[in-house]
């Protein structure tokens, strides 16, 4: 097993230990970490027939929508009008994470605090409304903030401006692995010592007619329109596709020394990061799961974590036929005999697929699992697929002595990302 993340790297720098000190979530089952986590542990279902537009002509007609969200609860009205819905979500989740970490109550060097918040599609609602306005009234009808509302990087920029975080700034877009990549990239920045604090994650709000219709055209979404609540069913024999969701997950990561100096609460330690490409297909995962295997194995090696120390995997678990069985095989290849003792679950069964934000929301969930020892369930898995032979925690949440866990994300285009969290201890 390779060096631990606190040992000297082969590039000559001594890696700083990195911990999770703040969590923020805007999800279909709850706003804020308390509501979100409670919803996960009781198996709350956030999927229903679409209400944001009339889905009657679409092959799929359900989604996991964020309900009861008011941007003005987090942003002044004038600023909110200049932001797309995806930026509303990301900003609110960032404010939640900053508050949860207690950063609003302490002084710190804002030149050494950065922001990495990605998105897959960005301002899809703005684009669609702008196109309709252009066709109806001509180019002069477009508002001056049209471009800034739709840009993927604008959420990260607005958060940086608002909180005066003047360190590293980035906005990755790597399809469904975006949130995991954003957190992994922030992890590397902190390891190198290029910042003390990083806000990281992703936000998505693409339940709009064109974006949703485009995903319908891929034939990867569930068509269980007569029973929306049962549509997202990862690892179930009768699954027929994923269910689109929306929302944001944002975390505060800190160098351990900085967190200890300000006596911050620590949820977990981020130990390792793996990032690979299938180099195979636009949408389908590589059949043997080689990229998934290398991402998981690389994250474990990066963090110096032995397979037997891992008790839980927060799976990508999309509810698509190919992804679930290939991910299951990849887990078996990485963990061997230990895979029989692993707990595995997919929270997409409850919140749907938050697209680029899925990995960030799942990282938030995994950090809570490390902190509490509670594994959220995979709901709707009524008849486990024989080709998915792992313990998917299908009978309600379980409590275990959890020392380390993985959070997996695998995206369109073949991007694979994995993060390893472990219980924080003073000694690495």
Residue with tokens 């097993």: 1
Of the listed 216, 316, 371, 418, which one is catalytic? 316
Is residue 324 left, alpha or beta, with left meaning phi > 0 and alpha meaning psi from -120 to 50?
alpha
Is there a catalytic annotation at residue 176? Answer: yes
Of the listed 88, 155, 206, 353, which one is catalytic? 353
Is there a catalytic annotation at residue 353? Answer: yes
Spatial separation of the C-alpha atoms in residues 40 and 219, rounded to whole Å: 28
Report yes or no: 216 and 210 within 8 Å, Cβ to Cβ: no
Tell me the backbone φ, ψ of residue 420, rounded to 5 degrees. Answer: -115, 125
In the structure encoding, which two tokens stand for residue 12, read together? 């000559």
Alpha-carbon distance values, 172 to 179, 201, 339 (Å): 8, 10, 32
Q: Which of 360, 363, 313, 314 is nearest to 338 (CA)?
A: 313
Of the listed 88, 155, 176, 381, which one is catalytic? 176
What amino acid positions are annotated as catalytic residues?
176, 316, 353
């Amino acid at each position: 097993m390779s060096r631990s993340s606190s040992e000297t790297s082969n590039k000559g720098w001594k890696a700083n230990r990195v911990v999770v000190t703040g969590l923020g979530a805007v999800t279909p089952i709850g706003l804020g970490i308390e509501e979100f986590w409670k919803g996960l542990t009781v198996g709350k279902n956030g999927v229903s027939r679409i209400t944001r537009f009339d889905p009657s002509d679409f092959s799929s007609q359900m989604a996991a929508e964020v309900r009861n969200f008011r941007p003005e609860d987090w942003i002044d009205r004038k600023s909110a009008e200049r932001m797309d819905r995806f930026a509303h979500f990301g900003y609110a989740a960032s404010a939640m994470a900053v508050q949860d970490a207690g950063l609003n109550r302490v002084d710190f060097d804002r030149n050494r605090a950065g922001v990495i918040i990605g998105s897959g599609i960005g301002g899809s609602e703005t684009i669609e409304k702008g196109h309709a306005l252009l066709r109806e009234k001509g180019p002069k009808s477009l508002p001056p903030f049209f471009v800034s509302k739709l840009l993927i990087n604008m959420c990260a920029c607005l958060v940086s401006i608002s909180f005066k975080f003047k360190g590293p700034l980035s906005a990755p877009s790597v399809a469904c692995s975006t949130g995991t990549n954003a957190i992994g990239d922030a992890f590397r920045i902190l390891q190198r010592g290029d910042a003390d604090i990083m806000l990281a994650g992703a936000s998505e709000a693409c339940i709009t007619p064109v974006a949703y219709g485009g995903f319908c055209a891929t034939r990867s979404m569930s068509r269980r329109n007569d029973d929306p609540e049962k549509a997202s069913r990862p690892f179930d024999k009768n699954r027929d596709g994923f269910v689109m969701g929306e929302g944001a997950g944002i975390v505060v990561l800190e160098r351990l020394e900085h967190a200890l100096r300000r006596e911050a609460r620590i949820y977990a330690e981020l130990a390792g990061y793996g990032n690979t490409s299938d180099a195979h297909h636009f949408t389908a995962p590589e059949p043997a799961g080689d990229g998934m295997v290398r991402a998981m194995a690389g994250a474990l090696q990066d963090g110096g974590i032995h397979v037997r120390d891992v008790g839980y995997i927060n799976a990508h678990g999309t509810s698509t036929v190919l992804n679930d069985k290939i991910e299951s095989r990849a887990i078996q290849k990485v963990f061997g005999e230990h895979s029989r003792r692993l707990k595995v679950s997919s929270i997409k069964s409850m919140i749907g697929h938050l697209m680029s934000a899925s990995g960030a929301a799942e990282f938030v969930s995994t950090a809570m699992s490390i902190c509490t020892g509670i594994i959220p369930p995979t709901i709707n898995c009524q008849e486990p697929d024989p080709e998915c032979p792992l313990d998917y925690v299908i009978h309600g949440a379980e409590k275990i002595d959890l020392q380390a866990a993985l959070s997996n994300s695998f995206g369109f285009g073949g991007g694979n990302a994995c993060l390893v969290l472990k219980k924080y201890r003073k000694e690495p």
